[in-house]
Amino acid sequence: LPKGVLNIVTGPGETVGEALARHPGVDKLAFTGETLTGKEIMRAAADTLKRVSLELGGKSPNIVFADADIEEAVKGALMGIFFNQGECCCAASRLFLETKIHDKFMDQMVSFASKMRVGDPLDPKTEMGPLISEAQFNKVMDYIDTGKEEGAELACGGKSMESDGYFVRPTIFDNVRNDMKIAREEIFGPVVSALTFKSIDEAIESGNQTPYGLAAAVWTKDIKKAHAAARQLRAGTVWINTYNAFDAASPFGGYKQSGFGRELGIHSLELYTQIKSVWVNLS
C-alpha cells in the first residue's frame, strides 16, 4: 500500500477513540463493539456531523420448531452460542424451543455441552478456549450467579475450571423467563438461556422482545413457516436451518440498539462514498 493509505493507531477508547470521533479531519467512523460505547461515539461525532456506522451488541433468538431436524438444530444451537466462547456479537444466546420438543432437545444439547473439551486454544483437540480477560471472566460469572438468583435452572456448566486462565465451562440455563436479566442483557460469554413457546406468534413476539436486533435463526422443515418468521423477526440477519453463515456479498448489520449501517456487500460501499450531482450548461 502507498504510504498514508492505512494508518493504525492503538490506544484506549477514552483517549484515541474519542479523539478520532471528535476530530474534524475524520469524515467517517465505523465501530464494532458494545452498545454503550456506540452511543458515546455518536455523541462525540455529533459536533462535526461526521457519518457513523455501528455494529453493536446482540441478544439473538434461536427459534426451534417441533418439525425441525432436531439433531441439526442441536448442532446449530451449540455452534451458535459456544463459537468463540460466546464472545460473538451475533451469538445465539436465547434458545426458544417449541414446548413439545423441549425435553428431547435439552437432553441432547446438555449431553453434548457437558462433554465439550475446554482448554488450551492451541491444542487441536480443544473445542472451547478461555475468555478474553479477567474483567470479562468476572462479568460472565456474575451473570451466571444472577441467573441462579433469578430462579433459572442451571442445566450444565455454571462454573470456572480449576486451571490457569479465564475458562468458563459451557453453560445452559433452562426454564428462563424473557424478563430475566440473563435473557435481556448481552453476556458475551458461553451462556445460553432456554425458553419455550407454543405457537409461531408467541415465538416471534418473544424473540422480538429485546432492545437488540442483530441476528436470529429459525429451524423448521416448513419453508413457508420459515419465511413467515424471517419477515417478522426484527433482525438484520435471519438464518434458516443454519447459524453463523456469512458471505462477503451478503450485508451484515443490526436493527434497534444493535446499530445501523451494513458491513459486507454493496451496501457497505455506500457507507464510504458520497453522492454528488454535477450540472453542466452545454449551450
Whether residue 55 lies in the annotated active site = yes
DSSP conformational letter for 242: -
- Is residue 237 helix, strand or coil? strand
Active-site residue identified among 55, 98, 186, 263: 55
- Is residue 51 helix, strand or coil? strand
- Measured CA to CA, the distance from residue 137 to residue 164 in angstroms comes to 12
- Measured CA to CA, the distance from residue 230 to residue 242 in angstroms comes to 13
- Measured CA to CA, the distance from residue 203 to residue 64 in angstroms comes to 9
Active-site residue identified among 18, 88, 89, 149: 89
Q: Burial letters for 241-266: b for 16+ Cβ neighbours within 10 Å, e otherwise?
A: bebbeeeeeebbbbbbbbbbbbbeee
- Measured CA to CA, the distance from residue 280 to residue 243 in angstroms comes to 51
Catalytic site residues?
Answer: 55, 89
